[in-house]
Amino acid sequence: MAKQKSRELDPATKSYMEGLHFISQHPMFAPLASHSRFIRQEGNLCPENGWAVTTSNGHIHVHPKRRGLPEEWLYILAHALLHLGFGHFRVMERQDLWNAACDCFIAKFLYDMKLGQPPAGMDGRVDIPAKSEEELYYSFVERGFHPSFHNFGSVGHGFQDMIMNSRTTGPSYWNNKDVNWQDCLGKGLIMAVTSAVNVTAGYEDYLGANKEVLTPVLKARNWFISSYPLMGAMAADFKIIEDPILCTRLSISVAAVNAEAKEIYVNPAAGLDEQECRFVLAHEFLHVGLRHHARADGRDPYLWNVACDYVINQWLMEMGLGTFPRIGGLHDPDLKGLSAESIYDRIVNDIRLFRKVATFRGVGLGDILTPRVPDWWNRNDGLTLDEFYRNCLSQGLDYHYEQNRGLLPAGFVEEIRALSQPPILWDVELAKWFDHYFSPVEKVRNYSRISRRQSSTPDIPRPRWVQDAGDEDGRTFGVVLDTSGSMDTKLLGKALGAIASYSMSRDVPLVRVVFCDAAVYDQGYLAPEVIADRVSVKGRGGTILQPGIDFLEHEEDFPKNGPLLIITDGFCDRVSIRREHAFLIPKGQHLPFVPKGKVFRVE
């Protein structure tokens, strides 16, 4: 026997059922809809040209053959339910004007709520001059009913969509006279607010959206946006990409971040739960927020990434943010309290060991992805990103304290505060260095050099202000200049020009200059104005700075308290210096050792 074909719904019924299903699932209207009875059959109370009418006992009579879009039925059914929820069924002197006032008030409410789509003829401008139905009703009674308000009801002009004490249709148990409709609406509002919070937190999908299951990564990201202001701005601005094929192509085993594209890649194959995802996302957010991609300064990118991972993971564990991933990560309690720069200097002493450790991207790979354009950070848009990343964490830290979110590691707070302050230019720091060692020379009056006589008393000689004799003794410093083949001539010009100008402004009479590459070339004492103009660079061989430094430290005619300035490109061996010193190196380069003196990074 052949199977009977399933009966298909006609388009009008199908659209109505979709609208009814949506309104029944909506958290705000679900309690009202569950206590109401929807009647869609021939001979009900709905007029021929209407959409729906509502009775005081909770019956909603819907036109049985009316065609409309699901969004239009959603609007009509919401309109009918709100008559019950707002308690509009009252006996008034002018029932027609009261019905019109309630229709206008509901139309304004649904317009502000942006729920559904009003059918043609009900989509006029919703602008009522009252704050309540009662106020609008008395306005209609006193001033009359404006024709523009005729089209807001659900049954058309000349009819009322609210019917008092209607005849009962169906069994007696459908006669819901004892239902507290206002209480149902109140419960619906509570459910709507709760649902909105859950949607924002990622625990519930938005009603009417594609029913896609929110992954643990997206739930973790939404949690940062709604509940953790310290990193909420970072979470809102970054795009989360969960593509196993793309992650395999980029060799990402767990996660990685692209600061230029504002993208975080998470491999679903890692199998992280929500708490682990919070830890991993916070890890990547801090990489970018603390500008680790821009602070490498010539260091090995992977080893610098490893050093930053140790610092970040220690902070996150102290903060109790998420759960340390089961698949592993970089954490060493012995490194607690150290900065990323200090940890890096330890790592370079045992490169073989640390080349085999794994970041969240994998073994031998850093989870800070290299930008497509190497110098992107120096472009104009890079500066905009710099300001964005600085502001994200600094403002998030302020929100964290304002809302009493708890304590944070001291080193973490110090690093955020340091990043929120603009860096001091290298030449300004160099000027402060000169001020520290060369205070202004005091001047005295001296009759040995007479000043110009005043015209009023030409016979009276007056003393002249001159520098105190002997103050220039020992007022000098040494310059060790790296003249190797890798040394940039622009660095030489900027550094020597700054040294010459600051020396002249601080009344330094002579500077002891030594060139040094594979050998030492002593230039003797030079006047500051000669340094930048007439110095001829010699050598251009390899870089060995220690002989030049030893030469000045043991030179008899060089003051024992005279400081040293070493100008180098950073490609040199470890040096030993016993007197006060400072280094001038190019911005982006890193010394292979940690000097005790000041380091100026020349731009």
Give the pLDDT confidence of 60-72 residue by residue, as tens digits: 999 988 888 889 9
pLDDT tens track for 263-290: 999 998 888 889 999 999 999 999 988 8
What is the dihedral sign for C-alpha 36, 39, 45, 48?
Answer: positive
- What lies within 8 Å, CB to CB, of 363 at 6+ separation is 356, 357
pLDDT tens track for 6-54: 456 788 888 899 889 888 888 888 888 888 889 988 888 888 888 999 9
Q: Read off the pLDDT of each residue in 493-521 and give the average, rounded to a whole number.
A: 84
Q: Residue 228 to residues 236, 281, 400, 554: CA-CA distances in angstroms? A: 11, 12, 8, 59
Say what the pLDDT of residue 197 is.
66
Cα(593)–Cα(601) distance, integer angstroms: 15
Helices (H) and strands (E) in the chain, counts: 19, 15
- Ranges 117-121, 227-231, 280-284, 377-381, most confident: 280-284
**Mean pLDDT rounded to a whole number for the chain:** 79
Q: Residue 170's pLDDT band (boundaries 50, 70, 90)?
A: very low
Say what the pLDDT of residue 317 is.
92
Given a contact cutoff of 8 angstroms between Cβ atoms, the answer to whether 272 and 254 are in contact is yes
Q: Is 1 exposed, middle or buried (0-12, 13-18, 19+ CB in 10 A)?
A: exposed
- Domains along the chain with CATH numbers: 11-188 (no CATH), 216-420 (no CATH), 472-602 (3.40.50.410)
Say what the pLDDT of residue 468 is.
55
Say what the pLDDT of residue 443 is.
65
pLDDT at 469 over 70: no
More confident residue, 34 or 314: 314
Q: Residue 503's pLDDT band (boundaries 50, 70, 90)?
A: confident
Say what the pLDDT of residue 376 is.
45
pLDDT at 312 over 90: yes
Residue with tokens 């490194």: 335
Say what the pLDDT of residue 168 is.
46
